[in-house]
Amino acid sequence: MTRVAAIDCGTNSIRLLIADVDTEAGSLRDVVRTMTVVRLGQGVDRTGEFAAEALERTFAATDDIAAQCRDAGVEAIRFVATSATRDARNRDVFLEGIQERLGVTPEVISGDEEARLSFRGATSVLDASHDAPYLVVDLGGGSTEVVLGSEEPQAAHSMDVGCVRMTERHLVSDPPEPEQIAAATADIHAAIDRAFEGVPIERTRTLVGLAGSITTVTAHALGLHEYDRDRINGAVLPIDAAIKACDELLHASRDSRAALGFMHPGRVDVIGAGALVWRTLMARVRTAVQDAGGELPHVVTSEHDILDGIAFSAAERL
């Protein structure tokens, strides 16, 4: 077993997984798994740059991560940055700050690499009851990755739609106005159209959703009073039930969302947009599968995601 730290710094949150990895068995055991909402991508869609206060929040969270890695005695660290960092003109300030705090070079990965790592993490825990090919959807703050494959990814696409980006661009009222929802939906459909050009979505036999927006929607669909990772992981929902949960979160007021026991405080403002992206994707994928003569009645939620993929890759590099 090799103890590694995997760090995923996205548009909305920075997440840490310290895990013991057995590369020969392809297994992983959690030691620490945390998430801190830092909103690194605050305003990036509008300004093209990281805000000073967003960098300050992210650096403070990274200082804490560095301490946890030292205390746990990790042998290797891999720090991955995704959508917001790809888009920011002043990303060198961010990358240098991370290097100073962790002593490793942060990697700004492409959407395709993000999709590959997410696929590996998500499918590592699927059993024989779920038929391949799998379509894995990783719904982040700035981008959403879709990747189709069986044992390995076969096709992938990164869409520039996510819960933070769609909130800042469109869903600015509380609750959002119908015309704002319509504009956001048009953006999402256009992104899905481009994704469908390169990913044969109609071949999907199991749809798998991951990351905070989707796990939060799942918690709502399950009627949870508090966030329960064990109940959410592997949950199989009828797509109609998942869509209903998305609609309820999209149209709820901020106060109503904040009162939900499972809702992370850092997700209250952006969950409506995340639910809209997920709702639109589920409906489009189901229609594509049905038009090709198949069926897609359910969606599977996974708590295993890009962090797991990063951890496996970090161990294999040693």
**Tens digits of per-residue pLDDT, 71-98?**
999 999 999 987 678 878 898 999 999 9
Give start and end residues of each alpha helix (H) in 199-305.
Answer: 212-221, 229-232, 239-251, 254-258, 271-291
Angstrom distances, CA of residue 4 to CA of 99, 102, 156? 17, 13, 27
193 plus 285 within the same structural domain = yes
More confident of the two residues 158 and 245? 245
263 shares a domain with 176: yes
Same domain, 230 and 162: yes
Q: What angle do CA 128, 34, 69 make, to 5 degrees?
A: 110
- 164 and 231, same domain (yes or no): yes
Kindly state whether residue 156 falls inside one of the protein's structural domains: yes
The answer to whether residue 313 is domain-embedded is no
Using the 3D structure, point to which of 54, 83, 111 is the last residue of a domain.
111
Q: Which of 204 and 109 is assigned the larger pLDDT? A: 204
Q: Is there a contact between 19 and 92 (Cβ–Cβ < 8 Å)? A: no
Q: Are residues 155 and 236 in the same domain?
A: yes
307 is a domain residue: no
Q: Sheet with 107-108: list strands edge to edge.
A: 27-37, 13-22, 2-9, 76-81, 107-108
User: How many CB atoms lie under 10 A from the CB of residue 273?
Assistant: 30
186 and 230 assigned to the same domain: yes
**Average pLDDT of the residues in 1-11:** 93
Together in a domain, 292 and 259 = yes
Domain span at 11? 2-111
Question: Going by C-beta distance under 8 Å and a sequence separation of 6 or more, which residues neighbour residue 76?
Answer: 2, 4, 5, 314, 315, 317, 318
Helices (H), 103-224: 111-123, 163-169, 178-198, 212-221
Residue 29 lies in a domain: yes
Residues 41 and 105 in one domain: yes
Domain boundary among 111, 138, 167: 111
- Whether residue 149 sits in one domain with residue 294: yes
Burial 222-245 (b: 16+ CB within 10 A, else e): bebeeeeeeebbbbebebeebbbb
Nearest to 276, CA basis, from 182, 207, 152: 182
Q: How confident is the model at residue 209 (pLDDT cuts 50, 70, 90)?
A: very high
| 226 shares its domain with 293 | yes
Answer yes or no: do 100 and 133 share one domain: no
What pLDDT sits at residue 182?
A: 97
Query: Are residue 161 and residue 107 in the same domain, yes or no?
Result: no
Mean pLDDT of 266-277: 95
Condensed to tens digits (0 to 9), the pLDDT of residues 213-266 reads: 999 999 999 999 999 999 999 999 999 999 999 999 999 999 999 999 999 998
The CATH number of the domain where 70 resides is what? Answer: 3.30.420.40
Q: Answer yes or no: is 88 within a domain.
A: yes
Answer yes or no: is 315 within a domain: no
How many domains are contained in the chain? 2
End-of-domain residue from the set 111, 145, 165 = 111
Between residues 314 and 88, which one has the greater pLDDT? 314
In a domain, 220, yes or no: yes
Whether residue 318 lies inside any domain: the answer is no
The CATH number linked to 181 is 3.30.420.150
Q: One-letter amino acid identity for 25?
A: A
**Residue ranges of E strands in the chain:** 2-9, 13-22, 27-37, 76-81, 107-108, 134-139, 144-149, 153-159, 206-210, 236-238, 298-302
| For residue 111, pLDDT beyond 80 | no
Query: Which tokens in the block code for residue 91?
Result: 């990303």
Residue 186 has pLDDT above 80, yes or no: yes
